[in-house]
């Protein structure tokens, strides 16, 4: 499974992409990430911009030939999606 989180917008309007592959993680970390993806339930996510100059995140999950995609906004993001975004960003930078 590969997960990418593309952050765009913000006052600066500059894009940043974080990417992580479960193959590159140890088994517990990979399982945790799969669980976060399940809990985030991306196909059901609805998110509209809230306020102005906030970050937008485009989340893309590829698992074999299955794909999920969602666009979410800071200030209007369900907590499970927030946890997934945070986790991918930490793993990607670490």
Does 71 bind other proteins (CB under 8 A)? Our answer is: yes
Span near other proteins by CB under 8 A; candidates 20-28, 30-38, 60-68, 76-84? 76-84
Q: Restricting to residues 37-66, name those near other proteins by CB under 8 A.
A: 46-56, 58
Q: Cα-Cα-Cα-Cα dihedral of 60, 64, 65, 70, to 10°?
A: -20
Q: Are 91 and 29 in contact (CB under 8 A)?
A: yes
Q: Applying CB under 8 A, what is the total number of residues that bind other proteins?
A: 28
Does 19 bind other proteins (CB under 8 A)? Our answer is: no
């Amino acid at each position: 499974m590969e997960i990418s989180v593309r952050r765009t917008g913000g006052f600066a309007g500059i894009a940043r992409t974080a990417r992580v592959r479960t193959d590159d993680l140890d088994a517990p970390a990979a399982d945790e990430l799969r669980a976060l993806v399940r809990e985030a339930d991306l196909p059901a996510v609805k998110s509209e911009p809230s306020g102005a100059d906030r970050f937008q995140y485009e989340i893309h999950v590829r698992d074999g030939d299955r794909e999920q995609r969602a666009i979410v906004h800071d200030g209007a993001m369900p907590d499970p999606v927030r946890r997934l975004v945070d986790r991918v960003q930490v793993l990607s930078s670490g």
